[in-house]
C-alpha cells in the first residue's frame, strides 16, 4: 500500500487520478462511512473544518492583536530601558521604579480594553454566524446523519443534493446529474458537470478543472451525489485562498507603523544629542548616557495603547448601539479613513425585491401564453431558487388566477432539464401534458435565447426569422433595459419522443416573448448617497448585472453613469489604463467575483482606503481584498466570518453612522498622539536645555511622576471628548509625516515659555525671596532655592500641559467656538485646582513643593494668557499653511 499523501493539495491531485476503490482502501474508509472510533483520530490528524473568523480569530489571535502592536513594542523596550536606568543603575535623573510599573500597567490596561471589546463583538458575531450555520448529510457507521459542517473530518462520506453548499473538498464517489458552480474559487460564473471517473495519470489540469472533485463553497445547482472528504477548514483550496487574501488588509497596521517610526526617529536623534551635550557640560559620560536614555523614555506617550484602544473600543460600542457589530476594532479607523466605498447594486441601492412587471409577446403586447410557459419553467426546474423565479412564481397568487396556475402545474410531467449556467445563460425543461408530444421551454438572457431561435410566435402564427436580424428584438427590449428593467426571453419547441435533453436540443427554437422585471431603488438610498458625498466618500457600484440595468438605477440615484465599464472591457485594458479607468469610472457592470477583487486592488494601489459591502460567497474575494470588509446579518456565514464589520441592516444610512463614529475615534486618537508627543518633546527639550545650564535638576522625579499621572488621567477622558463637525467631514489617515511636523512646530512653543519661566524663577523670584543668587547661598538655602524653582516650574508646566490639550483639540478658538466635553472639563478643572492647592497643604513637603507668593501667580496668569495667545496664532498659521491640524 502506498503512503497516503500528507499535503491536502497532494491528496486532491492524487485521488483525482485514482479509482474509488483505491481511495477507500488507502484512507481506510468504506462506503458506509467512518466509525465512531475513527472520527477523533481523523480530526486530530487532519484538523477541524473551520474557516475564516472563528478559525483565524481564536483566543491566541485576539491576544496577539490586543497586546502586540507597534506601540506596545516601543513601550516594552522603553520599560526595559527605564528598568536599567531607574532601578538597576538608579541614575539621579530617574523617576524611580514607578515609571516601569506605570508603563507595564498602561500596556496591560490598553490590551485589556481592546480584548474585552473584541470578545464582546466576536461573541455577537458568532451568534449571528451560528444562527445560520449550515448542516450537511453524512454517512457514518452505515447511518445517514445531519450534522453541522464544522464537525466534518477527512474521510467522512458526504451526501449532496440540489441547493446544497459543498462543505469541504471532496473526491466524488457517486453522482446523478450533478452540476455545480465554482464561482467562489475561479471567479468565473460557469456551471460544471461532475463525474466520478478518475482522471488520466498524465493529466496536469488545475485543481478547479478536475471533474471528479468538489470544493468548499461550491453550489450544487442540480442533481445529487456523494463524496469522501479529502481536506477540511483552512487546508481546503478555498480556505488557503481566503487566508492569503486576508493577509493584504494592513491599512491600520501601516498607519500605526508610520507613527511608531516617527517616535523612534525622534528618539534616535535626541538620545545622541542629549548624550553629547550633557557629557560635555557635566564631564560624566556614564551618567550622561543614562540621562539620554531617560530622555527617550520621557518622549514616548505612556498612555498610547490605552487611549488608542479606548477610542477604538468606544467607537465600536457606539456603533453597536446603531445596528452594527465591529468584530475587529481596527476597522473603526479604517471606517474613518475610508474614501471609496464599493457596493453591489442589488439589495444595497435597490430593494432586493424584484417584481415581474410585464409579460409580453414579441411585439410588446401582454401575453398569457408567455406567462404560463415562464411559470412552468420556473416551477419545474430543479436548480436553486433565485429572485427571478420567485417573482414569476408569485404570479400564482394573482387574484382570480390561483386555480389556473394550480391546474397548470398539476397537468404537466417533467422529464428532464438543462440547468442554467453562465455560458449558455438559459435554463430549459422538458415537459409533457399527457395529451401531445413532449415540449421544451427555455428561459434566459435575451441575446442568448434569440440566437437559438429560428421562428417567432404571435397570435397563433409561427413565422420564420433570420437569427442575424435582431432589430425587432432591440425595438422592444432596449427601451426597457435603458429604463432599468431586467428582461428575459421565453422560447420553446416540440421534441417528439424525447425523454432526455442535451445542449444540442436548444436550437431552432420558437421565440414566444419576454418577461420584464423591475427592482426599484430604495427610497433611502439617494439620501444616504448624498450624505456619503458630503462626507467625501466616493461610492462605486460593482455589480454583475447588465450595464443598462446598472446604469439606469445609478442615474436615478445620482451616481455618475455616463461611463460604465464592463468586466470584459476592464480586463481588455492594459495595467496603466486600468489604473486610470478605476479613477474615472463609478459604475462597473457584468463583473465576475475575481474582477471585483481586481478593482479593489487597483483602488488601493492608487492610495485609496477602500471599503466593500458584500453578503454572498461570491463577494468574499472582494471583501478580503478591501481595507474594511463589511457584511450584513442576512449574509452567507462565510461572508460574515470574513467581514470586519457586520451590519444588522443592509442600509447605506447605517454605514454613514459607522463612518462618522470611525472619524470621531480617529480624531480623538490623533489629538492624543499629536498633542502628547509634541508636549513631551517640548518638556524634554526644556529639561535638556535647563540641565545644561542649571546647577540642579529643574524638577524632581516624584514631581515628574505626579505631573505625568495628572496628564495621563486627563488623557483617559479623550475618548469621550466632543469632535468638531468639520473634523468628521473628510477622511483622514494615519501619517507619521504629519506627526513629526506637528511635534517640531508646537513642541518648541511650550519650551519657549518654559525657558521664560526658568529665567523668572532663577534670576527674579528665588533671589528676591531668599536674598541672593543660588551660588551665594548656603547648602540649606540652596535646597530651599531649588524647592521654590521646582514648585514654580511644576505649576507652570502643569497649567500649560493641561491647556495645550484644550488649545489644540480643536481648530477653532477653544472655550468659545469649541468646548470640550463635560468629562474633559471636570477632570481638567478638578486636576488643576487640586494640584495647585496641594502646594499649600502638608503633602507639599513630601512632594518637594513649597508655597509660593501671590506675585508668582500674577506672573503665571500672564504667562498662561501669553501662551494661549501665541498657541492660537501659531495654530492659525499652521492651519493656513498645512490645512489640517492633525
Cβ contacts of residue 313 below 8 Å, gap of 6+? Answer: 113, 114, 116, 117, 329, 719
C-alpha cell at 235: 487546508
The number of C-alpha atoms within 13 Å of 708 and in the hemisphere containing its C-beta is 25
DSSP per-residue letters across 800-865? HHHHHHHHHS-SS-BTTTB---HHHHHHHHHHHHHHHHGGGSTHHHHTT-----HHHHHHHHHHHH
What are the angstrom distances between the C-alpha of 203 and each of 11, 23, 29, 75, 530?
15, 18, 26, 56, 55
Strands 169-181 and 191-193: antiparallel
Helix, strand, coil proportions of the chain in percent (round to 5)? 55, 15, 30
d(CA 316, CA 334): 12
- Cα four-point dihedral sign 34, 39, 43, 45: negative
d(CA 285, CA 279): 5
User: Which residue is it, cell 453541522?
Assistant: 148
126 noted as active-site residue: no
d(CA 648, CA 589): 27
Closest CA to 567 of 549, 593, 548: 593
d(CA 815, CA 865): 13
> Listing from the earlier edge strand, what are the strands of the sheet with 340-343?
324-326, 645-647, 628-632, 610-613, 340-343, 538-542, 587-589, 564-566
Name the active-site residue from 156, 169, 344, 519: 344
User: With contact defined as beta carbons under 8 Å apart, do 490 and 422 qualify?
Assistant: no
The number of C-alpha atoms within 13 Å of 750 and in the hemisphere containing its C-beta is 31
291 burial via Cβ count (<10 Å: 0-12, 13-18, 19+):
buried
Residue 349 phi/psi, 5-degree rounding, is -90, -25
What are the angstrom distances between the C-alpha of 280 and each of 273, 694, 870?
11, 14, 34
Closest CA to 271 of 247, 252, 299, 248: 299
DSSP per-residue letters across 702-734? HHHHHHHHHHHHHHTTGGGS---GGGGSS----
Can you tell me whether residue 175 is helix, strand or coil? Answer: strand
- Output the 3-class SS for 7-74: CHHHHHHHHHHCCHHHHHHHHCCCCCCCCCCHHHHHHHHHCCCCCCHHHHCCHHHHHHHHHCCHHHHH
The distance in angstroms from the start CA to the end CA of the chain is 68
Closest CA to 441 of 533, 510, 394: 510
Which residues are registered as beta bridge partners of 82?
none
Residue 23 phi/psi, 5-degree rounding, is -60, -50
Cβ contacts of residue 395 below 8 Å, gap of 6+? Answer: 356, 371, 375, 401, 405
Longest dimension (CA), the chain: 126
Output DSSP code: residue 95.
-
Output DSSP code: residue 350.
B
d(CA 293, CA 82): 8
d(CA 682, CA 652): 44
d(CA 635, CA 226): 27
Closest CA to 649 of 631, 622, 624: 631
Q: Report the catalytic residues.
A: 344
Amino acid at each position: 500500500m502506498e503512503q497516503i499523501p500528507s499535503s491536502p493539495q497532494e491528496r486532491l491531485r492524487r485521488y483525482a487520478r485514482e479509482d474509488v476503490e483505491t481511495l477507500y482502501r488507502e484512507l481506510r474508509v468504506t462506503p458506509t462511512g467512518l466509525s465512531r472510533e475513527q472520527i477523533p483520530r481523523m480530526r486530530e490528524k487532519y484538523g477541524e473544518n473551520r474557516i475564516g473568523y472563528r478559525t483565524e480569530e481564536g483566543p491566541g489571535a485576539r491576544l496577539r492583536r490586543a497586546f502586540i502592536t507597534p506601540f506596545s513594542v516601543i513601550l516594552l523596550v522603553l520599560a526595559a530601558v527605564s528598568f536599567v536606568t531607574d532601578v538597576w543603575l538608579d541614575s539621579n535623573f530617574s523617576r524611580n521604579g514607578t515609571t516601569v510599573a506605570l508603563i507595564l500597567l498602561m500596556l496591560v490596561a490598553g490590551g485589556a480594553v481592546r480584548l474585552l471589546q473584541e470578545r464582546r463583538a466576536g461573541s455577537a458575531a458568532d451568534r449571528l454566524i451560528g444562527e445560520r450555520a449550515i448542516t450537511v448529510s453524512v454517512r457514518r457507521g452505515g447511518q445517514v446523519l445531519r450534522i453541522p459542517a464544522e464537525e466534518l473530518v477527512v474521510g467522512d462520506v458526504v451526501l449532496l443534493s440540489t441547493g446544497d453548499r459543498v462543505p469541504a473538498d471532496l473526491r466524488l464517489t457517486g453522482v446523478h446529474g450533478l452540476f455545480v458552480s465554482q464561482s467562489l474559487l475561479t471567479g468565473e460564473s460557469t456551471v460544471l458537470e461532475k463525474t466520478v471517473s478518475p482522471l488520466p495519470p498524465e493529466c496536469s489540469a488545475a485543481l478547479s478543472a478536475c471533474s471528479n472533485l468538489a470544493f468548499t463553497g461550491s453550489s450544487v445547482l442540480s442533481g445529487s451525489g456523494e463524496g469522501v472528504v479529502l481536506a477540511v477548514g483552512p487546508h481546503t483550496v478555498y480556505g488557503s485562498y481566503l487566508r492569503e487574501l486576508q493577509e493584504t488588509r494592513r491599512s491600520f497596521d501601516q498607519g500605526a507603523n508610520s507613527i511608531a517610526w516617527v517616535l523612534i526617529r525622534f528618539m534616535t536623534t535626541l538620545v545622541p544629542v542629549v548624550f553629547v551635550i550633557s557629557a560635555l557640560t557635566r564631564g560624566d559620560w556614564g551618567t550622561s548616557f543614562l540621562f539620554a536614555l531617560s530622555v527617550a523614555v520621557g518622549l514616548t506617550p505612556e498612555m498610547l495603547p490605552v487611549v488608542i484602544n479606548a477610542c477604538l473600543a468606544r467607537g465600536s460600542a457606539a456603533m453597536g448601539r446603531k445596528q452594527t457589530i465591529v468584530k475587529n476594532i481596527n476597522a473603526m479607523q479604517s471606517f474613518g479613513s475610508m474614501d471609496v466605498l464599493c457596493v453591489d447594486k442589488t439589495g444595497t441601492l435597490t430593494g432586493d425585491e424584484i417584481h415581474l412587471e410585464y409579460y409580453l409577446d414579441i411585439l410588446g403586447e401582454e401575453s398569457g401564453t408567455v406567462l404560463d410557459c415562464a411559470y412552468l419553467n420556473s416551477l419545474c426546474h430543479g436548480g436553486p431558487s433565485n429572485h427571478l423565479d420567485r417573482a414569476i412564481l408569485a404570479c400564482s397568487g394573482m387574484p382570480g388566477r390561483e386555480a389556473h396556475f394550480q391546474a397548470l402545474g398539476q397537468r404537466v410531467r417533467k422529464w428532464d432539464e438543462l440547468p442554467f449556467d453562465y455560458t449558455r445563460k438559459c435554463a430549459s425543461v422538458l415537459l409533457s401534458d399527457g395529451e401531445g408530444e413532449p415540449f421544451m421551454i427555455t428561459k434566459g438572457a435575451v441575446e442568448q435565447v434569440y440566437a437559438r431561435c429560428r421562428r417567432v410566435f404571435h397570435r397563433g402564427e409561427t413565422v420564420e426569422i433570420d437569427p442575424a436580424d435582431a432589430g425587432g428584438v432591440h425595438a422592444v427590449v432596449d427601451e426597457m433595459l435603458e429604463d432599468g428593467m431586467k428582461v428575459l426571453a421565453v422560447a420553446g419547441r416540440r421534441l417528439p419522443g424525447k425523454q432526455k435533453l442535451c445542449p444540442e436540443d436548444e436550437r431552432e427554437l420558437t421565440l414566444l416573448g419576454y418577461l420584464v422585471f423591475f427592482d426599484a431603488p430604495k427610497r433611502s438610498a439617494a439620501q444616504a448617497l448624498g450624505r456619503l458625498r458630503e462626507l467625501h466618500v466616493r461610492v462605486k457600484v460593482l455589480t454583475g448585472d447588465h450595464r443598462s440595468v446598472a446604469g439606469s438605477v445609478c442615474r436615478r440615484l445620482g451616481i455618475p453613469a455616463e461611463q460604465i465599464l464592463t468586466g470584459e472591457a476592464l480586463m481588455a485594458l492594459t495595467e496603466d489604463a486600468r489604473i486610470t479607468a478605476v479613477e474615472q469610472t463609478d459604475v462597473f457592470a457584468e463583473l465576475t467575483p475575481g474582477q471585483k477583487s481586481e478593482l479593489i486592488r487597483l483602488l488601493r494601489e492608487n492610495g485609496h482606503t477602500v471599503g466593500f459591502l458584500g453578503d454572498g460567497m461570491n463577494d468574499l474575494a472582494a471583501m478580503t481584498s478591501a481595507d474594511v470588509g463589511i457584511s450584513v446579518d442576512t449574509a452567507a456565514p462565510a461572508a460574515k466570518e470574513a467581514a470586519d464589520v457586520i451590519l444588522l441592516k443592509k442600509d447605506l444610512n447605517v454605514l454613514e453612522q459607522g463612518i462618522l463614529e470611525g472619524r470621531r475615534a480617529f480624531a480623538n486618537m490623533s489629538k492624543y498622539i499629536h498633542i502628547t508627543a509634541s508636549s513631551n518633546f517640548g518638556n524634554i527639550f526644556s529639561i535638556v536645555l535647563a540641565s545644561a545650564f542649571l546647577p540642579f535638576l529643574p524638577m524632581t522625579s516624584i514631581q515628574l511622576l505626579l505631573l505625568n499621572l495628572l496628564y495621563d488621567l486627563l488623557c483617559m477622558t479623550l475618548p469621550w471628548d466632543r469632535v468638531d463637525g468639520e473634523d468628521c467631514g473628510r477622511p483622514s489617515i494615519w501619517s507619521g509625516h504629519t506627526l513629526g511636523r506637528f511635534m517640531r512646530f508646537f513642541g518648541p512653543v511650550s519650551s519657549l515659555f518654559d525657558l521664560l519661566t526658568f529665567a523668572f524663577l532663577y534670576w527674579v523670584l528665588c533671589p528676591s525671596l531668599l536674598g541672593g543668587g543660588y551660588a551665594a547661598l548656603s547648602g540649606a538655602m540652596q535646597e530651599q532655592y531649588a524647592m521654590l524653582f521646582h514648585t514654580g516650574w511644576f505649576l507652570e508646566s502643569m497649567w500649560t500641559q493641561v491647556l495645550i490639550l484644550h488649545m489644540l483639540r480643536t481648530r477653532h478658538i477653544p472655550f468659545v467656538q469649541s468646548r470640550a466635553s463635560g468629562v474633559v472639563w471636570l477632570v481638567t478643572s478638578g486636576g488643576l485646582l487640586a494640584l495647585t492647592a496641594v502646594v499649600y497643604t502638608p503633602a507639599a513637603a513630601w512632594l518637594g513643593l513649597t508655597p509660593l507668593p501671590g506675585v508668582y501667580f500674577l506672573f503665571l496668569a500672564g504667562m498662561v494668557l501669553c501662551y494661549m495667545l501665541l498657541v492660537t496664532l501659531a495654530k492659525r498659521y499652521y492651519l493656513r499653511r498645512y490645512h489640517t491640524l492633525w
